[in-house]
Amino acid sequence: QVQLVESGGDLVEPGGSLRLSCAASRSLSSVNTMGWYRQAPGKQRELVAQITSGGNTNYADSVKGRFTISRDYAKNTVYLRMNSLKPEDTAVYYCKISWGASGYWGQGTQVTVSS
């Protein structure tokens, strides 16, 4: 019923920038929370950034000041702007959007930061 299509992952050099997109097939008008998670090989999936319908945001300490989460209700899309990328940011990034208590995941998009 709900599909989240992620895009924007790429290979980028340290210090570079990327913008990830998560396009939802359902309107964001009734969304509760929108977030980005990441999972590196052999590591636990972790919350990177989250934004509520009211605009409140929170970020993992490791990305504060470098990443920015935003959303465009007209496009039903959530974004993650990533600046000053570090090799430690290398992971598969997953979008998660919750409508009430129901959460949905994107397919993941790979971000690789390497010189």
| pLDDT tens by residue, 68-86 | 999 999 999 999 999 999 9
CB atoms closer than 10 angstroms to residue 2: 12
What is the mean predicted confidence (pLDDT) over 91-99? 97
CA atoms of 28 and 26, how far apart (whole Å): 6
What's the sign of the alpha-carbon dihedral 72, 47, 5, 16? positive
Q: Distance between CA 69 and CA 74 in Å, rounded?
A: 16
Spacing of C-alpha 24 from chain mean position? 13
Tell me the average pLDDT across 52-61: 94
